[in-house]
Amino acid sequence: MGVVRRAATDGVDAVSGCPIVGSPGGAPSLCPVTGAAAAFDPFSPDYLNDPAGSLRWSRDDEPVFFSPEIGYWVVTRYDDVKEVFRDNVTFSPSIALEKITATSREAEEVLESYGYAMSRTLVNEDEPAHMPRRRALMESFIPAELAHHEDMVRRITREYVDRFVDSGRADLVDQMLWEVPLTVALHFLGVPEDDMPRLRRYSVAHTVNTWGRPAPEQQVAVAEAVGGFWQLSGEIVDKIRVDPEGPGWMRYSIRQNALMPDVVTDSYVHSIMMAGIVAAHETTANASANAIRVLLENREAWDDICRDPSLIPNAVEECLRHSGSIVAWRRKATVATTIGGVPIPADAKLLIVQASANHDDRHFDHPDTLDIRRPNAGDHLSFGFGSHQCMGKNLARMEMQIFLEELTTRLPHLRIAEQEFTYLPNTSFRGPEHLWVEWDPEANPERTDPRIRDRRFELQIGVPSSRLLSHRLTVADRAEVAAGVVALTLVPAPGSRLPAWSPGAHIDLECGELSRQYSLCGDPEDRESLRVAVRMEEKSRGGSRWVHSQLKAGDQVVVRGPRNHFRLDPSAGSYIFVAGGIGITPVMALAREARRLGKYYRILYAGRSRQTMPFVGELLEEHPGRVHLYIGDEGTRMPVEELFGTTHPGTQVYACGPQRLLSALEDAMAAWPQGSLHSEHFASAGTLLDPDNEHEFEIELVDSNQTLLVPRDRTVLQVLREANIDVQSDCEEGLCGACEVRVVAGTVDHRDVVLSHAEKADGRTMMTCCSRAFGERISLSL
């Protein structure tokens, strides 16, 4: 990408507005704002239509850039966005509700006339104020409390669908998706419903006022509505104060206000009343409209959940990832720092674009594809991350699951009508203003079987486990590819699709009572079949023995995934692939990818004997001159120390094989830059919890200012989730690294196979699914 360089003058670049001016010694510097960065406009139709797509250039070439148009640094890659969310000290949330467009004096006067005094809320306050308040107000949001609202959400949803189910055509936004979340929000907050029509108008005004770009002539009208919203919120709080007992978050907050007036102050209650309505209403309405639209546009996905409602929880996560309602959020750098290696000055304002992060192919395979069985769909950042993560996320999830349950049950033949979608111009929230759908009422299933309306599926409050997602595949071919190694070709049922996958991925194969992980060694471009190879292990715990003794062509198998913890870093200059025995399977797919990328690579492949090493001929043919074989009974051994004793800058090493090979590599590469070695383990270190041999300990959550007890029979991960603290997970046996958290103090009893010896000794992170504390207490950055 070409860089537009303009000379800087008197502290601010005259043309670009770039804040990087001057250089040490007073010499003029060159402005780093590129042409693409200068052209970025978050209010443009292209961006509003497809924020993730319109920032693809940034994710690929310039993941952190300064936008003169809005005066913000824009952050677009998954890891960077997550890191900014995670560190709320370096990156303060204080500007999250700041107006992105300055208001005219006239509009300010209107707001003043209403006594508008929106103070800090949970969204935009710094520590130390934030966490005590969050803790004081959290109880209503924990999963056990939310479960009480399930019947209410179902009842309201059904009432709205009843109104249009026989009509054959509806605008789902106007007739359901706007009203139901508002009504649910009011019930959740415990406020009367009679002010709903006014609230509807006010809620939009708040969005435009804060995140939009109202023209000067619109600003007064917007200010009138925001002022009215503020006034109405105050009236409702006053009404509730008269009788603060009873259900609802606002009543609870008012009771907390009485108990701890210094933490939950009077003005705070008024502010969160208004902010709470917006947070609980509009984001859910938009997310639901986006989800239904994208599912109907991907008909197979819609039909899949009509057939199998157990797919709904993960479909909701995938829709939140693919087309979430929160496009971007804001933070402010409190000190000069770096993001993704880019220097960021102190006081810089940041626009962190979740919609872009959620489409980052460094984290999500084929991110533009909607895949409702995507195993890591729940990794999306649509609810933010860390201590400021959306408190209402599980209420939103519950509503979206119930909407899909109701519509796929009662209107499975729903289709999207011809229409042009429009969006409210703003930087942060996105959802179509209308969503017209059509169907043939004569074909409504309840006309022939009214009982269908009572169909219920089990809701998942919280991130659904990817372990629940399965595919039923058929063994199309079983072939012995080396002594003691069989290759299986697995195909889906006719008419079904295989999930997309990327090189390095593996599947979990149900082997009788057990589940075992096997790397995919076929071609990701092949969407007709999956290929794995399984070695008969002498000390088999049952998995490989079952495959070798029971499985034959024509059998059906249950498969979960694919999941990928061994993804190729495309930015590496070159690669060395190291395989020991059956560890060649992921290398098959990775080496093919390296060749496709046009990178230099070598394959080092070791085994006991040629007969026991699968795919040797295939490799030599596919990668001429790149394969180095080390065969024990032919007298050649891989000289790990010699090969890896000196560093190769820019080279990444991917290794899969027996533990002794991986350990030898780790030792030999001790002087290489951190992150140069990627290892794939298929066997955990034995993470099964044995309560008789454990002790209980406390975890102090430093960011949240909470202390939780981890009993002998619970993992840290389980305890965190029960306290409504989202920590991602995948394998839940110490293999993948998904559940890693930072350790602030205390000694970790590491039980994973992800961290290197040096990282374990360092003790700065731990895997919460399996590792524990050696002592009585451990402090985590959560």
DSSP 589-651: HHHHHHHHHT-EEEEEEEES-GGG-TTHHHHHHHSTTTEEEEEGGGT----HHHHHSS--TTE
Kindly indicate which of the ranges 458-466, 493-501, 508-516, 730-738 contains the residues binding ligand FES, using the contact rule CB under 6 A: 730-738
Residue 371 and residue 199: Cα distance in Å, rounded? 36
Residue number, 206 or 750, with CB nearest to ligand FES: 750
The window from 132-140, 377-385, 635-643, 727-735 that contacts ligand FES (CB under 6 A) reads 727-735
CB of residue 767 to ligand FES, shortest distance in Å: 4
Closer CB to ligand FES, 372 or 735, in the complex: 735
Cβ at position 78, least distance to ligand FES in Å = 18
| Single residue of 53, 247, 737, 763 touching ligand FES by CB under 6 A | 737
The alpha carbon of 406 is separated from its chain's Cα centroid by a whole number of angstroms, namely 26
**376 touches ligand FES by CB under 6 A:** no
Residue 318 makes contact with ligand FES by CB under 6 A: no
Considering only residues 225, 350, 482, 767, which one is a binding residue for ligand FES as defined by CB under 6 A? 767
DSSP 35-94: HHHHH--TTSHHHHH-HHHHTHHHHHH-SEEEETTTTEEEE-SHHHHHHHHH-TTTEEGG
Q: Is 217 exposed, middle or buried (0-12, 13-18, 19+ CB in 10 A)?
A: exposed
Q: How far apart are CA 559 and CA 762, in angstroms?
A: 37
Q: Is 720 in the site for ligand FES (CB under 6 A)?
A: no
Our CB check for ligand FES shows the closer of 281 and 374 to be 374
Do residues 532 and 509 touch, judged by C-beta distance below 8 A? yes
Asked if the bond preceding 32 is cis, omega within 30° of 0, the reply is no
Q: 226-245: which residues touch ligand FES (CB under 6 A)?
A: none
Q: For residue 478, give the amino acid letter.
A: R
Q: Which residues pair with 423 in a beta bridge?
A: 432
* CA 72 – CA 53 distance, rounded (Å): 20
| 769 part of the interface to ligand FES, by CB under 6 A | yes
> Smallest distance from the beta carbon of 738 to ligand FES, in angstroms?
4
Residue of 287, 400, 731, 780 that binds ligand FES (CB under 6 A): 731
Rounded to the nearest whole angstrom, what is the least distance from the CB of residue 480 to ligand FES in the complex?
A: 32
Q: Which one of 223, 578, 582, 736 is in contact with ligand FES (CB under 6 A)?
A: 736
Using rule CB under 6 A, residue 407 touches ligand FES: no
Instruction: Determine, following the binding rule CB under 6 A, whether residue 551 of this chain makes contact with ligand FES.
Output: no
In the complex with ligand FES, which residue's Cβ is closer, 565 or 592?
A: 565
**Interatomic CA distance for residues 132 and 145, integer angstroms:** 20
- Residues 274, 320, 725, 739: which binds ligand FES (CB under 6 A)? 739
Closest to ligand FES by CB, 398 or 769: 769
Q: What residues pair up with 560 in beta bridges, in sequence order?
A: 508
Q: Which of 210, 435, 752, 765 binds ligand FES (CB under 6 A)?
A: 752
Closest approach of Cβ 731 to ligand FES, in Å? 4
Q: Which is nearer to ligand FES, 469 or 767 (CB)?
A: 767
What does DSSP say about strands 349-353 and 72-75: parallel, antiparallel, or unpaired?
parallel
CA distance 281 to 277: 6
Give the C-alpha distances (Å, rounded to integers) separating 268 from 125, 130, 137, 243, 277: 11, 12, 12, 19, 14
Which CB sits closer to ligand FES, 482 or 767? Answer: 767
- Pick from 125, 282, 318, 732 the residue near ligand FES by CB under 6 A: 732
Give least dist CB 181 to ligand FES, A: 32
| Residue placing its CB nearer to ligand FES in the complex, 536 or 685 | 685
738 lines the binding site for ligand FES (CB under 6 A): yes
CB atoms within 10 A of CB 629: 17
Dihedral sign from CA coordinates of 110, 113, 114, 117: positive
Question: Judged by CB under 6 A, which of 504, 729, 748, 782 binds ligand FES?
Answer: 729
Q: Min. distance of Cβ 556 from ligand FES in angstroms?
A: 28
Residue nearer to ligand FES on the CB measure, 559 or 770: 770
The answer to the question of residue 730 lying near ligand FES (CB under 6 A) is: yes
CB 725, min distance to ligand FES, A: 15
Helix (H) or strand (E) holding 507: strand 506-511
Q: Is the peptide bond before 562 cis (omega within 30 degrees of 0)?
A: yes
Q: Which stretch binds ligand FES (CB under 6 A): 196-204, 302-310, 440-448, 731-739?
A: 731-739
* CA 466/CA 113 separation, integer angstroms: 52
Question: Binding to ligand FES by residue 379, rule CB under 6 A?
Answer: no
> Can you say whether residue 70 is alpha, beta or left, with left for phi > 0 and alpha for psi between -120 and 50 degrees?
alpha
Q: How far is the CB of 741 from ligand FES (least distance, A)?
A: 10
Radius of gyration of the chain (CA): 28
Residue of 735, 743, 778, 780 interacting with ligand FES (CB under 6 A): 735
Residue type for position 339: I
Q: Which two tokens stand for residue 219?
A: 């600003």
Name which position in 63, 276, 313, 734 contacts ligand FES (CB under 6 A).
734
Q: Which residue is nearest to ligand FES (CB)?
A: 769
String of contacts with ligand FES for each residue 330-349, x by CB under 6 A: --------------------
In the list 699, 701, 754, 782, the residue contacting ligand FES (rule: CB under 6 A) is 754
Choose among 485, 487, 526, 484: nearest CA to 503.
Answer: 526
Q: Label the pairing between strands 328-333 and 627-631.
A: unpaired
Nearer of residues 200 and 467 to ligand FES, judged by Cβ: 467
Question: How many residues contact ligand FES, by CB under 6 A?
Answer: 14
The CB-of-407 to ligand FES minimum distance in angstroms stands at: 33
Longest dimension (CA), the chain: 89
Give residues with Cβ within 8 angstroms of 473, minimum separation 6.
490, 491, 492, 530, 556, 557, 558, 559
Could you tell me the smallest distance in angstroms from the CB atom of residue 468 to ligand FES? 15
Site string for ligand FES, 677-716 (x = CB under 6 A): ----------------------------------------
Q: Distance between CA 518 and CA 36 in Å, rounded? A: 43
Residue of 450, 453, 446, 555 whose CA lies nearest to 511: 555
CB of 406 to ligand FES, least distance (A): 33
Give residues in contact with ligand FES (CB under 6 A): 729-732, 734-739, 752, 754, 767, 769
